[in-house]
A and B are shown apart, each in its own frame.
Chain A
Amino acid sequence: MARFIVRRMASAILLLFAVSIVVFAIFEVIPSYNPARAIAGRNATATTVAEVSHKFGFDKPVYVQYAKTMELIFTGQVIDYNDNLNVDSQFAQRFPVTVSLVVPAALIWLAGAVVLGSISALRVGGLADRGLMVAAILGVSIPVFLLAAVLLYAFAFKLPWFPNTGYVTLPDNPAQWAYHLFLPWISIAILSIGFYSRVLRSNLLDMVNEDFVRTARAKGLTRRQVFNRHVLRNSLMPIVTMFGLDFAVLLGGAALVTETVFNLPGIGQYEAQAIGNLDVPPILVGAMFTAFFVVLFSAISDIVYALLDPRVRLAG
């Protein structure tokens, strides 16, 4: 098992390296595109452009450019020339907000998906099952901007149950923190619960026909024991892989619509603004940031999968 972990982490590092080259290529090596000018922003003077050019090494060979760019990103020296802010420190400041949004939402959707998926599978064909599956499809189909806006309108404006956007940090006031984040959590969770519960339900139904489940019943285990220890356990594994990627992308800022609608000062909001303003430095750092999490979490989910399924440990 330890060997597996080491191998997986080593390939994660290599992968990150490869991804960084791709990100670099996208932003800085496209023909007829002046990276220095793009990075220097819309209000750039000639001096700024020259400064950027020198800093990023655009007058030097490609590999030097790459090295310098990576160095700038990792040592926190990328500056957003439009508002003269240090991009890396912006990310650092905004990251806790995104974490506050994403982590509890993820826990809600995981727990919800397991419960809903299990109920559906246990009462397959019944009213609960069909009802839940319809609700799941709705959850998957509703565009997040619509859902977020509707929730905000309905529960913060029309029915003043929840605050009208804004963010309160956790150390200041935990109750307010949760209160402000509740609707955003629901927005994110509803989308994923639908999808995950359907996948789980499908896996559970397949699993019930497996031979080893028959053996478990033949041993005299109760229905609940058979379900928890054999059926559910074996059905969760594909969910782990999916979850790793979804979670990683969200940490990188994929919840940008939710953050924007609810005015939460997180990574996603920052990236959304940068995209709107065609502001290259934050986008560049954002790409690397997300890439880092995706690589990390796919390695972690592989490791968790290996923990759950011992047959996988023999392979790579």
Chain B
Amino acid sequence: MAHKVKGYHALTSIKRERVLPVTGNVLVRRMQKVSPTDVIVVAPMAPEYLLLDIAQGLNVTPTRADELLQRAAGDSLVKGDIIAGPVGLFQRVIRAPENGSIKIAGEGKVLFEITSAAYELQAGMEGTVTNVIPERGAIIETRGALVQGVWGNGKITYGVIQPVSNDLLQELVPEQLNISFRGTIITAGFIRNPETLEVAGNIPVKGMILGSISSALIPAAKKADFPIMIVDGFGTAPMNRAAERILIANKDKNVALNAQPYDPFQGKFPEVIITQSTTKELQGPPETEALKTGKQVIILNGPLASRIGKIESILSQKKILPNGISALVAELSLSSEEIIEVPLTNLEIIKTTDS
């Protein structure tokens, strides 16, 4: 059976679609090099509409109101411009309430769109535009390191990555945070103290990449002003060694952190992309592989969550777990040379070499 391969790669080819859900103006062209902060598409993200009852405003019938219209659908107007009228003794008119345009007009009514500030979608990563999606965005490709997570607070940034300690196994506590982390994307093992988030926000850090976080801190993490990405899960598990190795090796480098919420049905993962200059021919990361003896795997949950091991064997018959559940299991050797049995459902494959 094909098994999911975790998204930790020291060097791979990365291709991302950056599009808006509405139509807009694409500002980039094919083969253009972009940096994370470059705007690739602009659009009125959430236009505000006003339904103007012209007939009522002019105190006439809808048919008469249509005759009194001075502007048509598609016309742009400045605040105060006359839309309809004048009519009657007092020469009543209907004026544009804001700068905007008429979208629909008829039957005594006008649907007016207020000009709103354009939403600018940034590239979010360094790379080359390999394809333009008309009116929506672009596909950007790069080569570099990739670490995907399982939870993100929906924010995005670009900056220098700074591990808080030499390994990412420990809890990040408020005392470890100081002004030297200002403006950096910090990475650490896990957090469980709400004060840590508060102190990080006060410094302020630019982003945070953690192995795990206590689920009690989810509401505070969602409210944080900076992006937070969780690599392994919830609780007090340290960062897994494969992701740790990549993040530590890229200390002081610029990384693109996109802490978008995890949505497997849309293929959205929170992720860190670290562009590398290389001439190596690279393929995209493998997404599934067969689970078999010799594969490196990560344990997804339980007391050994985020530990990495090697499959020594996969038992052909189901085994009864200590809690009585019957499951197909693999025998794993951990770095401590300890052999443990883990259900296949609780494993994902890790590729430690360059893809």
Task: Say whether A and B bind each other.
Answer: no
